[in-house]
Amino acid sequence: MPQTRSRIALLIETSNVYGRELLRGIHSWAGDNDAHWSFRLVEQGRGAVVPDWLDGWEGDGIIARVENERIGSALQRLGIPVVDVSAGLEQPLFPRVVTDSEKVIRLAIEHFQELGIKDFAFCGDRSFFWSRVREKHFVSILEEAGKRPWIRSSRASKPDTEIGRLARWLKTLPARTGVLACYDIRGQEVLEAAREAGLRAPDDLAVLGIHNDEILCELCDPPLSSVTPNARLAGYEAAEVLHRLMKGGEVDLVKRISPVGIAKRQSTDLVAIDDPKISAAVTYIQNNACKGISVQDVLAKVPMARTQLERQFRKLLGRTPREQIERVRMERVKELLVRSSLPISAIAESAGYEYPEYLTVAFKRIFGESPRDFRAREQR
């Protein structure tokens, strides 16, 4: 007798990369676990209303982006297990699997700090709860470090009006401020406003988005750097949570997924370090670390005593030149492990390691697990 298939509705937008990666993660879980799930998915945008076909739909479970109370209330009335893959509501109505906002913000601030940036600003959108959460973490983390951030968080208005307001705000910021936008669309607006204000990114300010919607980021002028979440893993974990709920099991109310890293593009291609030799050394490492360079290569490019180079790196960046080289390489390794299916040998070569074994040893020392174990966990 054929096994009964569970009917699963996916109320997830297909209009952006985060939603599509969620769907890929859900599909991966179903394949890995030989789940007999029959999916109901219709094309929709973010925050779309609950579709009419849900009335009277005899389903077994739902994975949804619950962006507002109206959607949440409609789903509650169905009386079936629901997993929320949005951070849209202040008080969760269902078990939730979301990106870890605090880790996203820490990663963004660290990226600015690596560039030598000393002033920080956040551009949010008060319309979204998750933007307010990111703003809160941004302020808290910087204040703990003795920094006073600049904040602009407004509700959406007419595009031309908003760009003008943003331009006036950007003019009040110190030179070479790092501006973190609450998501990529806001980052695009910041870049447009900077041009209107006569400011150049990245020379006058560095701009960083969140979500790494690659098409949108590449269409920005200049292309927008962005924090890359692990939406595929979030989708995978959401499917696991729904499975447990449908079996009557207990689950955590909130599960937070760490981001993958930073997708670096021209909008943060800046080294704001006052020491010209150290600035040149950092730029050289950033552009060449994955070509297998050593500290001697850095010294050949920026002639100075090795002890002076080491001392200034520790003073300005808090790490040695060798540690900086390895840091850049590991960022590349982590990105390829999560976002590609390349074998470890190819990843090692792409990141500048002579042998895959060298990569494995270094990766275990830094992250406490092998590259293969990291990929298996992050790419589920």
Which among 6, 24, 9, 1 is positioned nearest to 232, based on CA atoms? Answer: 24
Supply the pLDDT for residue 2.
54
What does the pLDDT read at residue 1? Answer: 45
So what's the pLDDT on residue 276? 87
pLDDT at 4: 81
- With 0-12 / 13-18 / 19 or more C-beta atoms within 10 angstroms meaning exposed / middle / buried, residue 118 is middle
Task: Check residue 371 and give its pLDDT.
Answer: 92
Handedness of CA 302, 290, 183, 138 (dihedral sign): negative
- Strands of the sheet containing 254-257, edge to edge, are 37-41, 6-11, 61-64, 82-84, 96-99, 254-257
pTM: 0.84
Question: For the CA atoms of the chain, what is the radius of gyration?
Answer: 23
Residue 120 contacts residue 178 (beta carbons within 8 Å) = yes
Q: What is the pLDDT of residues 261-279, one digit of tens each?
A: 999 899 998 877 888 899 8
Position 376 scores a pLDDT of: 85
> Tokens 């908003």 map to which residue?
162
Crossing angle, helix 276-288 and helix 306-317, to 10 degrees? 90
- What residues of the chain score a pLDDT lower than 70? 1-3, 45-48, 156-157, 379
